[in-house]
Amino acid sequence: MAQAGKGRLNFRCPQCFMRDIDMDMFYDKDKKEYYCIRCQYHGDEKDVLEKNEQIRLKYRAMYHRFKDFEDFSDDLS
Amino acid sequence: MTVCRNKEAVKHMSDFIVNIIHRPEMVPEYAEKVTGHGKEEDLGREGLLTESLDIFKIQQECAHKNGLKTTIQMTYASLFNEEAVALAKEHHEKYGDEIGLTLLGLPCEQFREKYKTKDFCIWMFSMEDKKAIVNDVFEKFHECFGFYPESTGSYYLDAALINYIKEKYPSVKCAVATCWEEGPKAYHTCNNSWYTLMDGGPWAPWIPSKQNTHAPAANREEDSGIVAIPHLSRDLLACYDGNGSNFGTHPQNVLRGMIYNSKTWEYPYLYNLIDQYRYLEKFNNGYAYNMMFVGPGWMNKMGRWEAPYELLLKSYEDGCAYYGQLKKEGKLLDMTMSEFADYYRAKKHYEEPECALWRDILYGSDKQLFWYCDPYMRACVNMDEGGAIVDLRPYVSKLDDPMGIGTKHVQDVSYPFLIQEKYRAGYFTHYAGEGTVRSAKICYQGEEADLCLCRTKAHFREENGVRSLTLDPAEIEFRNLKCTVQTVISFKEGDSSIRIDRKLLSCTDPDAEITVDEYMVGCYGTTEYPEDMTSLTLSLDEESLAYEYKCRELHKENADRAECVLPPVKTRVILECEASRKEGYVKEGYAFSPMFTLGYKAVLKAGEGVTTWLRLEKAD
């Protein structure tokens, strides 16, 4: 196969992101997938986007708009 | 200038100030790497230069259309570009923007040719090169504009460099001088390839001392002559725990952290972050500050990671629009950097601390931290661990180590810690040993409970130069007894100590004798890895122990003070205690637990209390 390159967008490895590492992925045209050279993650764009949504699960208050910074009565779960 | 009000007036106003800074970086960080993938490096590529200037123009437009003035920090490369120079002059005239000079953005053909290096971080150069580059860049600036700048900066400026700049170019009064908690965590995030190791500094503007940039000046003699501002305003909880580059007043950093709705492209977190900074005026005599500084590489037409250009642009427009809206509502003052330096000097005095009671606004955990910074220390109190001190930097020692090539600090310019719960375990350790923390154990008939396991909340108060936190009482349950313990943590201005009052508020058996074990586990360092402890000396009154990893202890009834001297960080840390029945102790660590412990055990009955002082001194 020819050398890998960057894809349409420059996706990071979702598995590495989950452990706080920003790793650019490369695109394998033959297999039509992104892959990480640091860990063993590989997947197509759909899979990357699904994993990126899972990353967001840790941000449980990311859609909450805070009005008071010493009032802890809001349910943020 | 509109902001330089008289000193008394400034002191009593409630202000939220923003500095918006743009740099025409002709070869933006990232851009050559991203857009040039698969091509040989070419810093003079026409497309790169044109796009870079276009991004700068868009950023300026975003600010101006929202009624915000900016500080234009010219880069070395941009001083060779006539259009960039002309734009800066035009915007200075038209919008009141300040024309400053950054020491970021050095890479360009002219720089490479002259200095024969690919280095670009000014603090990493040898002192000789630092001086040559500063002279070169400042004179080139003068050639372009006919005056010397009043503001400068980089991700970090070491003290010797600041002193040189101030001596040679006294017009400089403001500088971007560190990036908060950008250290080992940022290094790891970048797969160990981003060498900005600069933990341990202030998160909000300060006056750097002549000895060490991170340590604020305590008086006029120590004053470096500039007001320093941090590179961005960072989330004081998320950045402490994780990658700093995801959680700051840099809209594209919020995208980097994927903290947005991928369908609607909304990011309430950015506004929460700005609003929580606004809230900090409550703890700082009616003053709060934000800084937004986005390099053009972050608005690359090729997109940045998974964020397309349209989202990058939208986030920057939204960020400026929010600041603009606050300004229209009379809730924000936009200033240039030099204007801010004047404001800051009128508003604050040397020993006045910066305080921040900060809550989690991202993970939904309700965690609350308190950050304290003055010329003698930086400390973090964690309310989720019963008010334990989980980070402590002894600014009192004003470490004056030289930095850059040719010194022992080529990359690592972090200010050392005595306590750092993320790098040195904190309360929880695996299998054996102890981690660094300042807490207390409540003990009764063979059972003990550490306050680190009591989640609570704090209430801030300022009175007669003392900032104090009163914590909601902790409830302790033993097999045959329940009690409540109140903690009050106080920082007295100019005192270089932390006072902790613990009171046994109630007890199900009023005659029960409870032991409160006040302790500090410490070490020193700037990274996760242990340092050589053999130069440390532990003392309990007159008796002392030279550290040899032998797990030894000293105990003494009614001891006056327990202390440890740490020559590598020129610091003496002392624990003193006031209680009717007390025993002091010190503990040496061992190889698997390279720490030291200072402590006091006080015996209390319901209604009684114990007071301790953790004092920091410079030890030469």
pLDDT in tens, B32-48: 555 555 666 666 666 66
> B453 phi and psi, to 5 degrees?
-100, 15
How crowded is residue B252: how many other Cβ atoms within 10 Å of its Cβ? 24
pLDDT interval class at B494 (50, 70, 90): very high
Taking the C-alpha atoms of residue B76 and residue B97, their distance in angstroms, rounded to an integer, is 19
Range with lowest mean pLDDT among B32-36, B418-422, B478-482, B519-523 = B32-36
Between B188, B272, B360, which is nearest A20 by CB?
B188
Enter the pTM of the model.
0.96
Q: What is the pLDDT of residues B445-475, one digit of tens each?
A: 999 999 999 999 999 999 999 999 999 999 9
- B271 touching chain A per CB within 8 A: yes
Cβ-defined contact of A64 to B279 (cutoff 8 Å): no
Residue owning tokens 């010397």: B148
Q: How crowded is residue A55: how many other Cβ atoms within 10 Å of its Cβ? A: 16
Instruction: Tell whether A30 is covered by a domain.
Output: yes
Average pLDDT, chain B: 94
pLDDT band of residue B267 (cuts 50, 70, 90) is very high
Answer positive or negative: Cα dihedral of B175, B181, B187, B190: negative
Tell me the domains of chain B and their CATH numbers.
15-359 (3.20.20.510), 376-618 (2.70.98.10)
Residue B2: pLDDT band by 50, 70, 90 thresholds?
very low
Residue A57: closest C-alpha in chain B: B363
Q: Which of B190, B268, B459 has its CB closest to that of A63?
A: B268
How far does A60 lie from chain B, in Å, by closest CA?
5
Does residue A45 form part of some domain? yes
Is B265 near chain A, with CB under 8 Å? Answer: no
Which residues in B336-398 belong to E strands, given as ranges? 354-359, 368-374, 377-382, 388-393
Count of domains for chain A: 1
Which residue in A has a C-alpha nearest to residue B304's C-alpha?
A10
Q: Is the pLDDT of residue B150 over 70?
A: yes
In a domain, A77, yes or no: no
Chain A's closest residue to B241, CA to CA, is A20
Q: What is the pLDDT of residue B47?
A: 65
User: Chain A partners of B239 at a C-beta cutoff of 8 Å?
Assistant: none
% chain B with pLDDT above 90:
89
Contact A69 B258 (CB under 8 A): no
CB distance B50 to B26 below 8 Å: no
pLDDT, position A7: 73
Q: Closest approach of chain B CAs to the CA of A66, in angstroms?
A: 6
Residues in chain A closer than 8 A to B366 (CB atoms): 72, 76
Contacts of B269 in chain A (CB under 8 A): 59, 62
The verdict on residue A2 lying in a domain is: no
pLDDT score of B3: 43
A65, B268: Cβ pair inside 8 Å? yes
pLDDT score at B447: 98
Q: Which of A62, A63, A67 to mutate to test the interface with B (most CBs of B within 10 A)?
A: A62
> Where does the pLDDT of residue A9 fall: very low under 50, low under 70, confident under 90, or very high at 90 and above?
confident
Chain A residues lying within 8 Å of B242, measured CB to CB: 20
**What pLDDT is recorded for position B7?**
52
Within-domain flag for A18? yes
| Whole-angstrom distance, CA of residue A58 vs CA of residue B5 | 45
Determine, yes or no, domain membership for A37. yes
Q: Compute CA distances B542 → B536, B545, B547, B559, B561, whole Å.
A: 16, 10, 16, 10, 9
In a domain, A32, yes or no: yes
- Tokens matching residue B166: 């101030």
**B574-593: pLDDT as tens digits:** 999 999 999 999 999 999 99
- How do residues B78-120 score in pLDDT, each as one tens digit? 999 999 999 999 999 999 999 999 999 898 889 999 999 999 9
Phi, psi for residue A43 in degrees, rounded to 5: 180, 160
Residue A8 included in any domain: no
Query: How many CB atoms lie under 10 A from the CB of residue B203?
Result: 26
Whether B105 contacts B26, CB under 8 Å:
yes
Mean pLDDT value of segment B367-376: 98
**Cβ contact, residue pair A10, B271, below 8 Å:** no
Which pLDDT score is estimated for B23?
Answer: 95
Rounded Cα distance, B160 and B509, in Å: 61
Interchain contact A61–B (C-beta under 8 A): yes
* Helices (H), ranges, A3-77: 14-18, 45-55
Is beta strand A26-28 parallel, antiparallel or unpaired with respect to B514-522? Answer: unpaired
B431 vs B153, which has greater pLDDT? B153
CB atoms near residue B391 (< 10 Å): 26
Report yes or no: A44 and A33 within 8 Å, Cβ to Cβ: yes
Identify the pLDDT of residue A60. 96
Q: How many whole angstroms separate alpha carbon B426 and alpha carbon B502?
A: 21
Contact (CB<8Å) B305/A6: no
pLDDT in the model for residue B12: 47
Q: What is the pLDDT of residues B532-567, one digit of tens each?
A: 999 999 999 999 999 999 999 999 999 999 999 999
Between chains, do B366 and A72 touch, taking CB under 8 Å as contact?
Answer: yes
Instruction: Give the residue numbers spanning the domain of A29.
Output: 14-57
Mean local confidence (pLDDT), B517-529: 98
**pLDDT at B354 > cutoff 80:** yes
Cα distance between residue B412 and residue B403, in whole Å:
8
Sign of CA dihedral B307, B310, B316, B321: negative
Neighbours of B115 (CB within 10 A): 16
The pLDDT score that the predictor gives to residue B13 is 61
